Structure 1
């Protein structure tokens, strides 16, 4: 029973150090990361508690995406801005119109190739 408290304190210190080291620089508040690391190393219990209470930024975690995932480079819905249903429908109509025009161009090009083939024969 006497080892429980030291083990919990050690887990708190290690957890604080791992959290500080793995966190991006911009998510450490009030001190740079090296300052927090030194605080936890030199004042282990107090430094760890202060890190989790004051220095830790509890912003929502980013979604981690693998390096090769194409969605990594696509903007998230919040980054794109708010779009109304009417705007989405207008975009869809423009896309349909574009594809219809592209299909017409493809048909006309195929027709031109057919006429050239008939003339050359």
Structure 2
């Protein structure tokens, strides 16, 4: 009887530590606080639910197998091509940032010139 209590306590402790250390994106179906309450109030059932449906497991690593390997290969990006994000290369993004900086510099210059035009003329003696 004592052994069952110790095993249950260790299972609950492990589940609580696992829930707390997981990032929010790795927790499925309920928020982390709800999982913590389920594990505390329903120890055995809560732990079983957490480890079966509540947490996100890592995707299994393909270690090879039988059959034609060409069927399992996924197309890889060409190493000669620059990396693209949202259809743009890094050079395109840098050029876009340069244009944006130039635009805001011109806007600041126009505001400064407009401020000079709005000032009343100074009378010199």
Structure having the higher helix fraction is 1
Q: TM-score, normalised on structure 1?
A: 0.49
TM-score, normalised to structure 2's length?
0.48
